[in-house]
Structure 1
Amino acid sequence: MRASVKLGRRRLLLGGCLIAALAGTGTSAVPAFADEPNRIVTIGGSLTEIVYALGEEDRLIARDSTSSFPSAAGELPDVGYIRQLSPEGVLSVNPDMIIALEGFGPPEAASVIKQAGIPVVVIPDGYDNDSIIRKIRATASALGREEAGEELAAKTAAELAAAQAAAEGITDKRKVMFLLSAAGGRLMAGGSHTHADGIISLAGGVNAMADVNGYKPVSNEAVIEAAPELILRMRGGGDQSSDADVLAHPAIMATPAGKEGKVVAMDGLFILGFGPRTAAAAHELSEILYGDTAAAGN
């Protein structure tokens, strides 16, 4: 066991049931004593990032396919995509705890995993600053690293507050359309109540498709009317369309972004993960939108 893990510390776990790790609410399953887990699987890229940021990566034995950062995580066994898991794949690595982002699945697989006799900690997701802090605290609590979790939460909160202040100082906000897919010529965009909407706002932009709820197909007319000034794409996603394909789309061509060739691809986990690096992602996107004027509050 690593030196950072106190010998003799006992974790409160309930074998064979779901532990609801809701940071700040005090909600948890009725506990029973068990040895501290040291064979942990993380399901959700932001959770894997948090484990590394807490210095607890030696306890990880596997991760899901969205866990692409840090690069060292790629050396761990991959148990599958967060929403298309196989119970056999997750359980085959013999974990003694699973830390998963809410919504992992499919539901049938999640149900089997939860009933397998292994503690499963489900961490709430979200797309605002507070949700990131809750993730950090809940993950740290599951690991028995509350003190380190508070330190990371405080550092991350300060970075997010600075990003928020910079965004609020921008007066001439530019419109951004997050394009999830352009496959087959059909445009799917990120509307309100999404991680895409959250990062656009934190970067000081305006979501051009805010009238859409969630990630939805959008009509050519809606895109033209929205008049985005930047098309933001996710690098590393399932959409194989190139930037050139996007710019050649009739609806995109009619927008300010299309006319100026303003299409930018950023790493998906970086911009949509809502973890410890989100403030850095917001800063990078803001610089793309505004350049040096963002820092001065243009």
Structure 2
Amino acid sequence: MSGETSLVTSSSQPSRRLFLAASGFALLGGAGPAFAQAADRIVVAGGVVTEILYALGLQDRIVGVDSTSQFPPQALKDKPNIGYVRALSAEGVLSLKPSLIMLIDGAGPPDAVALLNESGVKVAHIPDGLTPQGVAAKIVAIGAAVGAQEPAARLAARTSAGFAELSALRAGLPKPKRVLFVLSLQNGRTLVGGRNSSADAVISLAGGVNVATEIEGYKPMTDEAVIAAAPDVVLMMGNAGAHAIPPEELFALPSFSQTPAAAGKRLLRMDALYLLGFGPRAPRAARDLMAALYPEAAIPPLKAADAP
């Protein structure tokens, strides 16, 4: 398709091989180095992509972001908002006259993405890796797309160093805590994060056990299943609205009142993009979750810098 460039996530640590693989991304589809050099008007759909571009110091080249671009906070204050990442308008994106459109995996709807691919504007499709290797590859690939290979490689290396520290901390943890991530509670439906979700990935990185792995992705869980899952801790996003239920109300619900978490009203909240974004802050977010899950372990701060 015209203007489309695809990218494959590497499973290796940041290295010369990873750097060359991500750099090759700019050469696909006949784009060549001019692709990256000409990307002086970037429209981004994907909060983690915005976060990485800011971490690379490229915010002045961004001319539009989507509504999930909530870190750093000034992104949505300073840049035009193109709407929700999964509900984009091709016309709205193209009205900003971008020279490069960066789309995280899952951006949509498909019809809008197809129009963007056929617009003649270069489109970078960024895979949303949920592993330490995937995060490093994501950072390096974004750097390759915009001609910032060297700073991206440095940022990826720092992020990987943070993940390595995190791995060492996991090795010293006590018995793993059983965690249920609740995305929302609406109309009597408990929407949770199952296997292959970003919630599942961060729980594992933090040394916990996701009790909803019989579910794929983000789906409803029955009251009976919540009781049977027996979580020690319930994890939710720290946003307002549907996610703002206080512990007293949550653990008064019939399903949650019968869980081990109810005994100590163990409800943890963390900022959504920080917890689930899987960008340069991911090692620190997983460390903070680990510290909250295991207060008795006195988890130290990470020494590795996770951003410039």
TM norm structure 1: 0.89
Match of 1:59 in 2: 61
Which residue, 233, 252, 256 being the options, matches 2:256? 252
Letter in 1 for 2:62: L
Q: Which runs of 5+ in 1 are unaligned?
A: 1-13
Matched, 1:92 2:78: no
Letter in 2 for 1:257: A
- The answer to whether the 8 Å contact 2:236/2:243 transfers is no
Shift of 1:241: 5.3
- The answer to whether the 8 Å contact 1:183/1:240 transfers is no
Match of 2:291 in 1: 287
Deviates more, 1:252-261 or 1:175-184: 252-261
SS in 2 for 1:22: coil
Q: Which runs of 5+ in 2 are unaligned?
A: 10-17, 301-308
SS in 2 for 1:204: coil
Which residue, 68, 72, 75 being the options, matches 2:74? 72
Distance 2:278 2:204 in 1: 13
Letter in 1 for 2:271: D
Distance 1:289 1:40 in 2: 39
Q: Give RMSD over aligned pairs.
A: 1.9
Letter in 2 for 1:272: L
Distance 2:113 2:261 in 1: 41
Shift of 1:160: 1.1
Distance 1:123 1:233 in 2: 26
Which residue, 123, 131, 138 being the options, matches 1:135? 138
Say if 1:168 and 1:62 are closer, same or farther in 2 by CA, change over 3 A. Answer: same
Matched, 1:178 2:181: yes
Equivalenced residues, count: 282
Deviates more, 1:88-97 or 1:65-74: 88-97
Deviates more, 1:235-244 or 1:88-97: 235-244
SS in 2 for 1:29: helix
Match of 1:41 in 2: 43
Say if 1:118 and 1:219 are closer, same or farther in 2 by CA, change over 3 A. Answer: same
Distance 1:276 1:70 in 2: 12
Superposed CA offset, 1:220-246 (max 9, x none):
111111110111112237735513442
Distance 1:212 1:71 in 2: 33
Shift of 1:292: 5.0
Distance 2:73 2:132 in 1: 25
Match of 2:5 in 1: 19
TM norm structure 2: 0.86
Letter in 2 for 1:49: E
Distance 2:243 2:141 in 1: 35
Letter in 1 for 2:151: A
Distance 1:237 1:114 in 2: 35
Distance 1:176 1:284 in 2: 15
Match of 1:101 in 2: 104
Distance 2:215 2:42 in 1: 38
Match of 2:119 in 1: 116
Letter in 1 for 2:135: I
Match of 1:9 in 2: none
